[in-house]
Amino acid sequence: MKILKYPVLLLLTLLTFSSKSEVLNLTPSDLAEAQLKGAVVIDIRTPEEWTETGTIKNAAKIMFFDQQRKPRVSEFMSEFEKLVTSKDQRFILVCRSGSRTKAVTNFLDKKLGYTNAAHLAKGMKQWIAEKREVEK
């Protein structure tokens, strides 16, 4: 039954949060520092996006939205829970521009109780603009 609740919760989360949300917005420097301190970095983009621009070094790749922009909540959570094993473990989500990760971070924080969630505010676009290292 829990699996069926995730899509409904995600939809409710996406509809109820405004742009004034309390998501922790990180810069590339913030992310790099947090990663050095052990934060888990998860790239939620699609495989095509990973191939196109590369990924942040040591970031886990777990697609959240499929190519049709439909959430894959059950599949995501199955992989996510292998990396983030407690509700207070620090993790950072990454997407192309930060919009998907903001919504997903809100969902994980506000609806599922993950209290140490953050995202790369301007996504891989900013990471690449700052000429930071990527893995292909």
C-beta atoms surrounding 94 within 10 Å: 24
User: Which whole-number Å values give the CA distances from 98 to 3, 5, 24, 52, in the listed order?
Assistant: 26, 25, 11, 17
Could you state, in chain order, the average pLDDT of each consecutive group of 10 residues for the chain (136 residues)? Answer: 50 46 85 97 97 97 94 97 97 97 95 96 98 96
Domain ranges of the chain: 2-135
CATH architecture observed for domain 2-135: 3-Layer(aba) Sandwich (3.40)
Can you give the pTM of this predicted structure?
0.85
Per-residue confidence (pLDDT) for residue 70, from 0 to 100: 94
Per residue in 45-62, is it b (16+ CB within 10 Å) or e — as a string?
bbeebbeebbbbeebbbb
